[in-house]
Amino acid sequence: MSNTKLRVLPLGGLGEIGKNMTVVEYDGSIVVVDTGLRFPTAEQVGIDLVLPDFTYLRERADDIEGIVITHGHEDHLGALPWILRELGTDIPVFGGPLTMAMARSKLDEHRLKETDLTDVTPGEKLELGPFDIELVHMTHSIPDMMAVALTTDLGTMLITGDYKFDQTPVDGKPADVTRLAEMGREGLLLLCGDSTNADRPGFSPSESVAGPGLEAVFGRCKGRIVVTCFASNIHRVQQVIDAAKIHKRKVVLVGRSMRKNINIGRMLGHIEVPDGMLVQPREARDFPDEKLIIVSTGSQGEPLSALRRMAYKDHPQVELHQGDTVVFAATPIPGNERAVNDTIDRLYHIGCDVITAKDAPIHASGHGYQEEIKLMLNLTQPKYVMPFHGDHKRIHLHAELAEAVGVKPENIFKGENGLPLEIDEKGARFGKPERAGMIYVDGVDIGDPTDVALRDRRMLSADGIFVVVATISEQDGSSVADPEIIFRGVPYSQDAEKLLGDIRESVNHSLERAAKDEIREIDLLQQLLHDDLAKFVYERLRRRPMVLPVVVEV
């Protein structure tokens, strides 16, 4: 047996929900499993997407043998274009046919056409440097979900990705429990398992329960129906189409990602749509409300999503009105509850009825509950366990479940992003932490907006900005023209002219004091104006807008 260490470095997905990304190293070679992103929180003002910090990989790009993607959800696939753009489009990428079709679509949008994407089917073996890779079919809320087994001289480790043990999946293909059990009998070195629902007791309901639930809900609706779910949840859209057929309704797909993913699903045979069922959004006005079902993105309250824009009466093609019913065929990802609740409240204000998974069996989670996590542990019988894909609470609960089924406490590793697990013949232990933070996507650029930048954005969004241009004499520092005051987004009292006059007077007073004290340096003058004006505005308005003083010498 080799003395080389197996090193498992999570760059995302531990201590958080989203941006899953894992670096597996052995004998100087690297395989990356998943390249996910997550959406920004409300505090990350002006940020579009949040990626894992892959600085570690920039420095080791030549050692990367390949990237393996477990499935096509954004939190496992979404960062791929940025990573290939930075590390090189010659890195081979592997995944299921649907996953790779979604990856190609993303890369085309980024004009990254010279990429090496390979479709892999369950059970197929890959050799990537010192790694023997096998993908194992699992069930989730998207087709082509596969766990990744990586075998080296030290043994086999399994990264489960997102999974549940659905005995009646919509596509009729349950998880390959036989292969998982074989891995257990052969001896699994390490299990890195999904922790998303480690806080839910029992077994998760089958995805197939959502179909009859949707059908029953549609039967009670008199007017137009809007169903919102993840654009990648092709099985759920199939169930909506099946229920629409029973109730003789047409289906409108709204949202670019929804239309794109359903087209990919139809092309690969994962979704069947009767001829004449789909209607273009611009044609929807030609049909009575009781004959329409709109399937839309926006189940998580994302700011630019179709449903969110409908809720704020800002959508160019769909205008909601009283009598519409909006069906949330998804539950909020932890952290998105406030955005979802805000969207729902706006829908009620319009006059819509809203039905969520609390009101009817219209959603089933794609992640296994506690008994399914125990089943995975018992099937694979790993020597070491490292809970993945969850915040610290869920990782802790997953660790307790592992201990409950007989894994030794010292063999359970509750990690975090940037903390590598190192395994050799002597055992397993955490290694020296590596850099693993966040990279922000702001528009199309990626970078690291500092805390200062985000704080400034929050200040601008809350209290606005004052710009003060003061012109002073080069000889004696006295003011030679009335200060120019510009403000935007500042809440103020009705008498704005008086406020501006008082501000000019305050600025002149500060300049007189500076001239008297013989303060001539521009930087010092600007700092003095900033402090005096910020204090003055707070005393008058009880607000703290951003203050930008500009001093010009003539």
CATH number for 316 = 3.40.50.10710
**224 shares a domain with 171:** no
Say if 425 falls within a structural domain. Answer: yes
Mean pLDDT along residues 267-271: 91
Please check the confidence at residue 91 and state whether its pLDDT lies above 60: yes
In the chain, % of residues over pLDDT 90: 64
**224 shares a domain with 370:** no
**Is 73 one of the annotated active-site residues of the chain?**
no
Over 292-312, what HEC string results? EEEEECCCCCCCCCHHHHHHC
Phi, psi of 447, rounded to the nearest 5 degrees: 180, -160
CB 377 within 8 A of CB 370: no
Average pLDDT, the chain: 89
448 or 527: which leads in pLDDT: 527
CA dist 110 → 70, 94, 113, 159, 403 (Å): 21, 19, 8, 28, 45
Mean pLDDT along residues 280-284: 88
In the set 144, 194, 353, 532, the catalytic residue is 194
**225 shares a domain with 159:** no
CB 528 within 8 A of CB 535: no
**127 shares a domain with 35:** yes
**198 shares a domain with 62:** yes
Which amino acid is residue 62, in one-letter code? Answer: D
335 or 306: which leads in pLDDT: 306
Burial call 18-27: b when 16+ CB within 10 Å, e when fewer:
bbbbbbbbbe
Say if 360 falls within a structural domain. Answer: no
Of 301, 323, 355, the last residue of a domain is 355
**463 shares a domain with 431:** no
In the set 137, 367, 389, 398, the catalytic residue is 367
Task: Please give the structure tokens belonging to residue 32.
Answer: 């990356």
**Cβ-based burial of 451 (10 A; exposed 0-12, middle 13-18, buried ≥19):** exposed
Please check the confidence at residue 88 and state whether its pLDDT lies above 50: yes
Quote the pTM value.
Answer: 0.79
Element counts in the chain: helices (H) and strands (E): 15, 26
Of 49-63, 220-234, 444-458, 483-497, the one with minimum mean pLDDT is 444-458
Say if 442 falls within a structural domain. Answer: yes
Phi, psi of 65, rounded to the nearest 5 degrees: -80, -25
Say if 488 falls within a structural domain. Answer: yes
Of 355, 386, 416, the last residue of a domain is 355
Say if 215 falls within a structural domain. Answer: yes
Please check the confidence at residue 416 and state whether its pLDDT lies above 50: yes
Say if 1 falls within a structural domain. Answer: no
**518 shares a domain with 378:** no
160 or 297: which leads in pLDDT: 160
The β-bridge partners of 277 are none
pLDDT band, residue 173 (cuts 50/70/90): very high
Mean pLDDT along residues 164-192: 96
Question: Which pLDDT value is given to residue 376?
Answer: 98
Please check the confidence at residue 184 and state whether its pLDDT lies above 80: yes
Say if 257 falls within a structural domain. Answer: yes
Instruction: State the maximum Cα–Cα separation within the chain, in Å, rounded to a whole number.
Output: 88
Mean pLDDT along residues 461-477: 75
Phi, psi of 137, rounded to the nearest 5 degrees: -65, 130
Question: Which pLDDT value is given to residue 459?
Answer: 59
CA dist 166 → 202, 367, 389 (Å): 13, 10, 19
**182 shares a domain with 65:** yes
Question: Which pLDDT value is given to residue 452?
Answer: 45
Question: Which pLDDT value is given to residue 447?
Answer: 52
Here the CATH number for the domain that contains residue 476 is 3.10.20.580
- Residues spanned by the domain of 402: 6-202+365-447
**544 shares a domain with 479:** yes
Nearest to 465 by CA among 544, 536, 551, 525: 544
pLDDT in tens, 369-396: 999 999 999 999 999 999 999 999 999 9
Nearest to 50 by CA among 22, 21, 25: 21
Nearest to 6 by CA among 183, 245, 192: 192
**168 shares a domain with 215:** no
Question: Which pLDDT value is given to residue 453?
Answer: 53
**Is 116 one of the annotated active-site residues of the chain?**
no
**394 shares a domain with 334:** no
Of 355, 381, 408, the last residue of a domain is 355
pLDDT band, residue 444 (cuts 50/70/90): very low
Please check the confidence at residue 151 and state whether its pLDDT lies above 50: yes
pLDDT band, residue 515 (cuts 50/70/90): confident
Q: What is the separation, in whole angstroms, between the first and last Cα of the chain?
A: 79
The β-bridge partners of 354 are 326
Number of domains in the chain: 3
**159 shares a domain with 23:** yes
CA–centroid distance for 252 within its chain: 25
Please check the confidence at residue 399 and state whether its pLDDT lies above 80: yes
Here the CATH number for the domain that contains residue 370 is 3.60.15.10
pLDDT band, residue 493 (cuts 50/70/90): low
